Amino acid sequence: MPPKHFHLRLLSLDGRPWAVALCLLFWLSSVCIAQTSTRPEMSVEMTTNTPRIALGESGSLNLICRNFELRSSPQINVDGLQIMQRGKSSQITIRNGERSRQVTYTYVVVGEQVGRFTIEPLRFSTGSGESLASGSVTFEVYQPDGSQTEIANEKPYFATLELAETKLYVNQVIPATLSFFVRGGGGARFTKVNFTNDALAVRSRDQFANTQTIIDGIPFSKTQASYRFFAMKPGEFDVQADIAAQVQAMNNRFGGGSGFFFNRLEEKTLRSIPVKIEVLPLPPGAPESFTNSVGEFQMLTQVAQKSGLQVGDPLQLEFIVSGVGNMQIMGAPKLSGERSDGWKVYEPSREYDPSRSSDGLNPGVVRFQQVIIPQRAHTKLPSFQLSYFNPKTERYETLESEALTVSIAEDPQKTDSQSAAASQSREISTLSAEAAEPSPKAELPEPQFSDVLYIKRTRPHWLSSAAPTFADSWSAMMRFHIIAIGLCLAIILALGFLRIHRARKLASEGPCESWSDVSRFLQGSKEKDLSNMLRQLYQKLCELQDSKPKGFEKEAEREIFTKVQAAAFTSTSSNVEKLSLVTALKQDISALSRKGS
């Protein structure tokens, strides 16, 4: 058994903590994957989930700041609207090790006049000097009809559908607001909404708002959902929605005007009040570049590279179309036949995000990528056209891309080969004219292809291009961590085994019961590793101390024990100091050994 003063530490090697640090460092490096730290992108956005509000009623406005915060909520003033600050909320998200923060400033908007009112973009300056601007938001304040008052006196809950326009063209997008009224202070949550007319293409904006209103002196809670739709064929239609909702009714427990109240959820299914609309067909005479889009748009053209191009190099154009209208069915800009001379045009791609599409009041955006290849030298890009029908002017309008300046040169290799071919053709013509008799037919040379890869005739083995699923990623991550943990445990077990083996080896040499045993150990020890020898000497002295019930009685014995203990566990001493100490210890311990014998 090792003596009580000899502490066996599995996680340290020769008293040094570097082994522990190595294991911890290995574990942290296996868990923490190095990622390139990027500065979070700052942006600001202004949104609303109630673009249409009744006169005298309230809506909501949100100002969303990402990765920065304003000192105070900005004051927003618009004639015809009363905009009041409501509060502020913040949200912190950590995704793939990247931290982002979002601060939302909420406002209450009350319509004071009938009409359309636009809140212009707000501009802010961040702490780093960067200037940011939000988008604009448009509110439409309408005059409600008297049907709500008539129904409010009869039913505890009802639903209405309000449209921005009741007379529209085919493919014209208009916003719609579906409202669910519940008598009292309760609320409602839509579980399913289905529009009954198949001639309409309806899309929800996934935005809901709960407000309180008073109809003919009766308090109601109102739950609003925003939609956008367009008609796919002309004609007259009745538009209404079937709604399934969970109603949180507030009922009087004792039937009187006061008392204890409790909430009760009820499943209710009802149909909204029908609204009649008239859909007009589009007029004839649509231009060739018309793609069935209706609205009012603008187009921006971008090109990735403008110089250093040669004939045959592909160019990628990007058309960014923004505005108010139907972007869901919009096609890409077209290149007319007369302008396509010298260009090879490929099928365009489309980037459309429904959440950023126009609702008929607020603008949206859609992007098109077009690849073209020049077949001869050019100095300008061809112009593309995009035509749409403007319901305000009731005529077709055409957007034309900018004629951007580019530098496209002829391929020098192709030019040299063409010149050589022309020169050879002239020489052949001259020789043919001078020859009296026709020349014998020359043998065809065998082609020498040095730049063509060998075509394999065997059946190819196709690799799967499917993206890894979540289960595959999770399985790979678990295997990685299991291997890392196994390596850490192997290192710890190896260090512990070495330490135990050394302790057993020292214990097998027999305990020290006299100074003669200590002297023999010291004389037989090698002086290559002085620190290790001093620690083993300290162990022998501890064994000698245990063999004496009264401990070290002499001053010389206690002094030797103190020196060895200090030198064995002090890493600041130099090897010269330790060697001189060992030399002196050999003489002192030899003297005590002779005296004891």
Length of the chain measured in residues: 597
**What's the confidence (pLDDT) of residue 7?**
42
**Lowest-pLDDT range, 103-107, 183-187, 431-435, 579-583?**
431-435
**What's the confidence (pLDDT) of residue 382?**
85
- Comparing C-alpha atoms, which of 145, 217, 128 is closest to residue 179? 145
C-beta separation of 180 from 188 below 8 A: yes
Across the range 196-212, mean pLDDT stands at 77
* Residue 328 to residue 218: CA distance in whole angstroms: 41
**Lowest-pLDDT range, 118-122, 144-148, 332-336?**
144-148
389 versus 272: the higher-pLDDT residue is 389
Q: Which residues contact 318 (CB under 8 A, 6 or more apart)?
A: 301, 302, 303, 304, 367, 368, 369, 370
Q: State which fold the 290-412 domain adopts.
A: Immunoglobulin-like (2.60.40)
**Lowest-pLDDT range, 167-171, 190-194, 316-320?**
190-194
Report the mean per-residue pLDDT for the chain: 75
Across the range 222-237, mean pLDDT stands at 87
**What's the confidence (pLDDT) of residue 197?**
79
- Please report, rounded to a whole number, the percentage of residues in the chain having pLDDT higher than 90: 12
**Lowest-pLDDT range, 131-140, 360-369, 414-423?**
414-423
**What's the confidence (pLDDT) of residue 256?**
38
DSSP assignments along 473-524, one per residue: HHHHHHHHHHHHHHHHHHHHHHHHHHHHHHHHHHHHT----SHHHHHHHHHH
Across the range 461-482, mean pLDDT stands at 64
8 versus 207: the higher-pLDDT residue is 207
**What's the confidence (pLDDT) of residue 296?**
92
The two structure tokens encoding residue 340: 């396509």
**What's the confidence (pLDDT) of residue 352?**
87
**What's the confidence (pLDDT) of residue 126?**
76
Identify any residues that bridge with 13 across adjacent strands, giving them in sequence order. 16
Q: Output the CA–CA distances (angstroms, integers) from residue 473 to 32, 124, 288, 294, in the order listed.
A: 16, 41, 49, 45
Residue found by looking up tokens 């036949």 in the block: 337
The neighbour count for residue 207, using CB atoms within 10 Å, is 16
DSSP tag of 72: S
21 CB burial (10 A radius; 0-12, 13-18, 19+): exposed
Across the range 577-594, mean pLDDT stands at 76
The two beta strands, 43-47 and 58-66, are antiparallel
* Residue 151 to residue 149: CA distance in whole angstroms: 6
pLDDT, tens digit, 9 for 90 and up, residues 4-13: 444 434 344 4
* Residue 370 to residue 351: CA distance in whole angstroms: 11
* Residue 15 to residue 360: CA distance in whole angstroms: 76
Q: State which fold the 43-139 domain adopts.
A: Immunoglobulin-like (2.60.40)
**What's the confidence (pLDDT) of residue 254?**
37
Return the exposure string of 111-140: e unless at least 16 CB atoms fall within 10 Å of the residue's CB, then b. Answer: beeeeebebeebebeeeeeeebebbebbbb
Return the exposure string of 371-406: e unless at least 16 CB atoms fall within 10 Å of the residue's CB, then b. Answer: ebebeeebeebbebbbbbbebeeeebeebebeeeeb
**What's the confidence (pLDDT) of residue 10?**
38
Q: Which CATH architecture has domain 144-280?
A: Sandwich (2.60)
Q: Output the CA–CA distances (angstroms, integers) from residue 419 to 311, 426, 430, 494, in the order listed.
A: 17, 11, 17, 77
Residue found by looking up tokens 């006299």 in the block: 514
Across the range 218-239, mean pLDDT stands at 86
C-beta separation of 290 from 338 below 8 A: no
pLDDT, tens digit, 9 for 90 and up, residues 302-316: 887 777 788 888 888
**Lowest-pLDDT range, 331-340, 425-434, 517-526?**
425-434
**What's the confidence (pLDDT) of residue 299?**
92
**What's the confidence (pLDDT) of residue 257?**
38
pLDDT, tens digit, 9 for 90 and up, residues 20-36: 556 566 555 554 543 44
Q: Which region holds residue 285: left if phi is over 0, alpha if psi is between -120 and 50, else beta?
A: left
Across the range 49-64, mean pLDDT stands at 82
Specify the domain boundaries for CATH 2.60.40 within the chain. 43-139, 144-280, 290-412
Q: Output the CA–CA distances (angstroms, integers) from residue 127 to 38, 68, 90, 121, in the order listed.
A: 17, 8, 18, 20
**What's the confidence (pLDDT) of residue 505?**
61
**What's the confidence (pLDDT) of residue 258?**
38
SS3 570: coil
pLDDT, tens digit, 9 for 90 and up, residues 487-544: 889 999 888 888 787 666 655 555 666 777 777 777 666 666 777 777 777 777 777 7
**What's the confidence (pLDDT) of residue 417?**
54
Q: Which region holds residue 16: left if phi is over 0, alpha if psi is between -120 and 50, else beta?
A: beta
**Lowest-pLDDT range, 220-224, 277-281, 289-293?**
220-224
350 versus 542: the higher-pLDDT residue is 350
**What's the confidence (pLDDT) of residue 4?**
43
**What's the confidence (pLDDT) of residue 369?**
92
SS3 538: helix
**What's the confidence (pLDDT) of residue 255?**
38
SS3 596: helix
The two beta strands, 343-345 and 364-374, are antiparallel
Q: pLDDT band at 69, cuts 50/70/90?
A: confident
Tell whether the model's pLDDT for residue 470 goes beyond 60.
Answer: no
The two structure tokens encoding residue 393: 């002017």
Tally: H helices and E strands in the chain: 8, 29
Chain centre distance of CA 47 = 20
* Residue 83 to residue 75: CA distance in whole angstroms: 8
Across the range 105-119, mean pLDDT stands at 89
C-beta separation of 178 from 332 below 8 A: no
State which of 85-94, 207-216, 439-448 shows the largest mean pLDDT.
Answer: 85-94
